[in-house]
Structure 1
Amino acid sequence: MIQNQLLAALSETEHRAVVCHLRKVSVSLREVLHQANAEIKYVYFPETCVISILSTMEDGSTVEVGVVGNEGMLGLRVLLGVKKTPHLAAVQVAGSALRMSADLLDQDLKGVGSSLRPLLLPYTQALLSQVSQSVACISQHSIRQRLARWLLAMRDRIESNSLEITHELISLMLGIRRASASENLRELQDRGLIATRRGGIRIVDSQGLENIACECYRIVKEEYDQLYSENSR
């Protein structure tokens, strides 16, 4: 069963041509898949894992500017003919992914009958929309709104209301103090929207969480929903 939605959109013939270049790998929590300003050696098609694209400041602090789950691929700069990335990419939910050599992907994309290019181009647009919306979100919305959006986005990608994440991870992803993460999580729990436990969070009231989340969640979700709809035709 193909768990990555981009690869699932390939025809049977196209999939057979691509699958020989893919290797299934297990990735662990916080494993770094791409180093900032380093050569991209592999691209990843997540299956059950979730990967964060992080911008790192001079003081070492980080903030998430993009996230990739089973809807897409990590390493889109290869599509643009660029083999380096300014961002760090690290695993935020452990799981499996399909890995391909960046050189092999580059060769496929340059081919006349590339099967991946028609899928990756619209996905690139969706990811760029996500990144630009994240930038606006950081500057315009409260921590509580951003936290609600982030929890919902995580839920969508792992397709479960039970999230194996810590307060520390949330603070790193949102670029906030751990105390602020804990305070806002406690407020969401007091409202009956989530239930927290050591090392995890369970979403109890999705609609209530959506009501608190900023419009960025809806905008990005609609972009990806449109992508999935077009790929299924």
Structure 2
Amino acid sequence: MALALSTECMHGRLPMHDRLDSMRPNARFLVKNAILARLSLQDLAAIGAFLEPMVLRERMVLQEPKKRLDHVYFIEAGLVSLRIVAAGMVFETAVIGYQGSVGASLLLGGHLPTHQSVVLMPGSAHRISVEDLRRIMNERPDIRQHLFRYVQALTLHCAQSGFCGVRHDRERRLASWLCLASDAIDAHVLPVTHDYLSSVLGLRRAGVTETLIRFEELGLIRKMRGVLQIDGRSCLEQKACSCYRLISGAYASPDSVIAAKEAAT
């Protein structure tokens, strides 16, 4: 459930008690990000004073491997591709939407990013400087704990993507990716092409096209110029491999990550 946060609170113009009072259902600012929405009002007010709203544009790079990260991004809308880039090849390990954050892993034990994060679908986010967030986490352990739970889910997502790439067939992998991307943006229309899916999943384009045609014949999706629309969501989930249920379960209930890992083995 989203929490409301006023614009004044976002820019830190109000004292703490006034910021808390401003969190009413009719406030002008709505927090959709799942990590922020799970915070208590007090923790949300503390972090909200340092959050900066921003627009996410298609192909915007939020994070580069082996480069210092200045900000952590809490995604509100849109879709970000988390990927490994090596020798001119791209392998996507996760997609991040309103459920998550870009850069949080670096605050919980990492040093320099190992992944590239690129905006696939435009949207919006709130960013906060690494220094401010690190200080707030030290002052408010519950914020650290919520971020840690999310990072656990994201870590499982990345690991499971690698497992999926070598163990599951093309049809199940495609169905799983479509369901995960749909969850990440909370919508059924995905701005992806056959070329994109072929590239990030390491599949032949002809095979991707063949599978999507079959999905369309079964009434699971509709292909339009530059986008795919999911029409038969429940049936598409049945086509997806077990990785989808493990990953989506970890994001829905971060405390279940350990159980999900045990189930995967």
Would you say same fold, with TM above 0.5?
yes
User: Which residue of the other structure, out of 181, 194, 198, is the alignment partner of 2:225?
Assistant: 198
Equivalent residue number for residue 175 of structure 2: 148
Residue 18 (1) aligns with residue 18 (2): no
Equivalent residue number for residue 108 of structure 2: 80
Contact 1:69 1:157 in 2 (8 A): yes
Contact 1:33 1:90 in 2 (8 A): yes
Offset, 1:76 = 2.3
Q: Which has the larger radius of gyration?
A: 2
- The CA deviation string for residues 13-55 of structure 1, in whole angstroms up to 9 with x for no partner, is 2111111111111111221110111111111100012211101
Equivalent residue number for residue 4 of structure 2: none
Identity in percent: 33
Equivalent residue number for residue 34 of structure 2: 5
- Aligned structure 1 segments of 4 or more residues deviating by more than 6 angstroms: none
Instruction: Tell me the SS of whatever aligns to 1:207.
Output: helix
Distance 1:204 1:106 in 2: 42
- Aligned ranges for residues 2-151 of structure 1 at < 5 Å? 2-58=31-87, 60-109=88-137, 111-151=138-178
User: Which residue of the other structure, out of 185, 197, 220, is the alignment partner of 1:170?
Assistant: 197
**Range with bigger deviation, 73-82 or 128-137:** 73-82
Normalising by the residue count of structure 1, what TM-score does the alignment of the two structures yield? 0.91
Distance 1:122 1:228 in 2: 7
For structure 2, the 5+ residue unaligned runs are: 1-29, 257-265
Distance 1:106 1:178 in 2: 43
Contact 1:40 1:83 in 2 (8 A): no
Offset, 1:4 = 0.4
Equivalent residue number for residue 262 of structure 2: none
Aligned residues: 227
Normalising by the residue count of structure 2, what TM-score does the alignment of the two structures yield? 0.80
- The CA deviation string for residues 80-131 of structure 1, in whole angstroms up to 9 with x for no partner, is 243411111111111001111112122223x243442020111121111111
Equivalent residue number for residue 161 of structure 1: 188
- Aligned ranges for residues 216-231 of structure 1 at < 5 Å? 216-227=243-254
Amino acid at match of 1:48: A
